[in-house]
Structure 1
Amino acid sequence: MSDRMSVLKTYKLFIGGAFPRSESGRSYPVNDHRGNFLANAAQASRKDVREAVTAARKAFPGWSGATAYNRGQVLYRVAELLEGRREQFIAEVAASEGVQAKRAQSIVDGAIDRWVWYAGWTDKLAMVFGSSNPVAGPYFNFTMPEPTGVAGVLAPQQSSLLGLVSVLAPVIATGSTAVVVSSLDRPLPAITLSEVLATSDVPGGVVNILTGRAAELGPWLASHADVNAIDLTGAPESMRADLERAAAGTVKRVLRAPSSEPDWTRAPDISRLKRYLEHKTVWHPVGV
């Protein structure tokens, strides 16, 4: 019989491709669905939100300026790495969400497939959402989609992996960068995903993952002048109207929270991609 004491893990945040501790020094215990202790997670603060937004803004020019084909390769690489850590994700989803192993396998496989699905869309956005417009006069008129910028994402609180991937992947597929607040009670799959991203080809700062309370961090994301869009999927219902009003103060795009928890296992559609695209129309004289 071993007298060895197990080493309890305290996870950190994921900001700018690195793993800093929370500026506040706070952490909180993460338990499984039975209440058994799993690990400690960092509890992010307002300053951590600011640092994450700064990192996302710094990474935006390089990520948005990469070719669509390259972004697709990078997203596909994430799927490859997720596949390599499939068993760990299955164990964490089962522990976090209280589902059987077979159901957890289905969730993890769905998350991997979703990365691949969005990877395949990166080089098709211009064709689907762009256009050549008929105009009267000696002009060419083109409309092309461009990434919105920095997106704040309040991830689903119940679906710790598949829901998270479903709201994160379309942001970076378009060329935007993301600051994500993970599920409060089920953060371990998000933390492991951050470890995958850190060892993938995703440049530092393109995805920043904060653990903590959406009720605490959401208002700072919604009011931050350097955040261009915000997804309120995981926002507390009592705060959603206030967050929309805060976002309006800096003219953000707002993805409203659904009235009930979505079925994340359903096939995705292109509507989330469209939410993170702006459209630029260019006029060019003919024969000049």
Structure 2
Amino acid sequence: MSSKSSTDTARAARLGVLKTYKLYVGGKFPRSESGRVYEVSDAKGNWLANAPQASRKDARDAVVAARKAFGGWAGATAYLRGQILYRIAEMLEGRRDQFAREVAEAEGLSKSKAAAQVDAAIDRWVWYAGWTDKIAQVAGAANPVAGPYFNLSSPEPTGVVAVLAPQESSFLGLVSVLAPVIATGNTAVLVASERAPLPALSLSEVLATSDLPGGVVNVLSGRTAEIAAPLAAHQDVNAIDLTGAEDADLARDLEAAAAENLKRVLRPQPVDLAADPGTHRLTAFLETKTVWHPTGSLGASGSGY
């Protein structure tokens, strides 16, 4: 037998090394607390991998990690946040082929269409990175008042945001909902698409090796309804994006649970992912802080400049 034929036989006989996916919480990769996994298939029904099935405990742990990271991330300069997000885009560009393959398998797209989706997602990440130090000029204001005062309004991040990623758009939709949340200084607990979680889980590997502090983004996979319920009711979650809650009854129940501590809620709505995203998602999870400051001496004359 020739060496070539023996090599071919060995290749045919060997078992492939299948990847084991994990959650991403607090900058680390834990297994699901329950040890559960679920099968992920491609658009044709072929098995791709086992993904971790997060539990309520995993959701609570992710909120704790996001809260711990919030102070440092919100307190970082907008310029620094922009630099970190841009670095993530550079790393995504380096793994473009991997994400294109995962998107093609998840969404049943051709290689060229999947690559176009990934290119659009990376471009969108860069776009949001550029907004980090500009949104204050758009959302802030100097307010005219009757008196010798400056009255200034400036945007501040809301806090911990639970994000339900779109179910159908596994990467472009994911970037479209996640990037604006962290660009504006919030921290995120991301619930990946239940049907196509692999691009989100691969994104967590990029985040872990970037300059993004651990806990700023936490990625959970599993049954959307199971994970979203404790997040919507959690008293330390400040806002929730319901984009991935496709079932109307589920969205209504989550919104009702979110009302307990007056969470900001972004309701699910049809989105044209190919269109200019605008600033809507950048301002969705921002609070406005207004301060008064005297313009000068407040003595008897009351004059100022």
TM class, shorter-chain normalised? over 0.9
Contact in 2 for aligned 1:231/1:255 (Cα 8 Å)? yes
Give the equivalent residue in structure 2 for 1:162. 172
Match of 2:290 in 1: 281
Q: 1:94 aligns with which of 98, 104, 121?
A: 104
Alignment deviations for residues 82-104 of structure 1 (CA, whole Å, 9 cap, x no partner) = 00000000000000100011110
Aligned to 2:255: 244
Preserved CA contact (<8 Å) 1:107 1:265: no
Query: What is residue 70 of structure 1 aligned with on the other side?
Result: 80
Residue from 16, 25, 31 that aligns with 1:21: 31
After TM superposition, give the deviation of residue 266 of structure 1 in Å: 1.6
Q: 1:47 aligns with which of 34, 40, 57?
A: 57
SS of corresponding position for 1:178: strand
The offset of 1:219, in angstroms, is 1.1
> Could you tell me how far apart the structure 1 residues matched to 2:255 and 2:149 are?
40
Which one of the candidate residues 81, 90, 112 is aligned to 1:80?
90
Asked if 1:226 is matched to 2:236, the reply is yes
The correspondence for 1:110, drawn from 107, 120, 135, is 120
The structure 2 residue matched to 1:122, chosen from 132, 142, 162, is 132
* Mapped partners of 2:248, 2:96: distance in 1: 33
1:12-61 Cα distance to aligned partner (Å, 9 max, x none)? 00001110000011001111111111111000000000000000000000
Aligned to 2:3: none
Answer yes or no: is 1:171 the counterpart of 2:193: no
Between 150-159 and 262-271, report the one with greater CA deviation. Answer: 262-271
Alpha-carbon separation, structure 1, partners of 2:18 and 2:210: 26
In structure 1, give the amino acid aligned to 2:105.
A
CA contact (8 A) 1:151 1:229 kept: yes
Cα-to-partner distance string for 1:207-247 (whole Å, 9 max, x where unaligned)? 00000111111111111000001000001322111111100
Question: Which of residues 207, 212, 225 is equivalent to 2:222?
Answer: 212
Q: Which residue of 1 aligns with 2:161?
A: 151
Indicate the SS of the match to 2:86.
helix
Note the C-alpha offset of 1:137. 1.2
Match of 1:268 among 272, 277, 292: 277
- Alignment partners' CA distance in 1, 2:18 and 2:153: 54
| Structure 1 portions without partners, runs of 5+ | none
Q: Which has the larger radius of gyration?
A: 2
The total of aligned residue pairs comes to 286
Letter in 1 for 2:137: M
Q: Matched residue of 1:44: which SS? A: coil
- Do 1:27 and 1:41's aligned partners in 2 also have CA atoms closer than 8 Å? yes
Find runs of 4+ consecutive structure 1 residues off by over 6 angstroms. none
The amino acid across from 2:288 in the alignment is: H
Q: Which amino acid aligns with 2:181?
A: V
Shift of 1:145: 0.5
Residues in 2 aligned to 1:160 and 1:238: alpha-carbon distance in whole angstroms: 23
Q: What percent of counterpart residues are identical?
A: 67
Q: What is the TM-score normalised by the length of structure 2?
A: 0.92
Contact 1:171–1:178 at 8 Å: present in 2 too? yes
* SS at 1:144 equivalent: strand
The partner residue of 1:255 within 250, 254, 266 is: 266
**Distance of 1:4 and 1:100 partners within structure 2:** 29
Tell me the C-alpha RMSD between the 2 structures: 0.9
Q: Which runs of 5+ in 2 are unaligned?
A: 1-8, 298-305
CA distance, structure 2, for counterparts of residue 63 and residue 140 of structure 1: 28
Q: Which residue of structure 2 aligns with residue 195 of structure 1?
A: 205
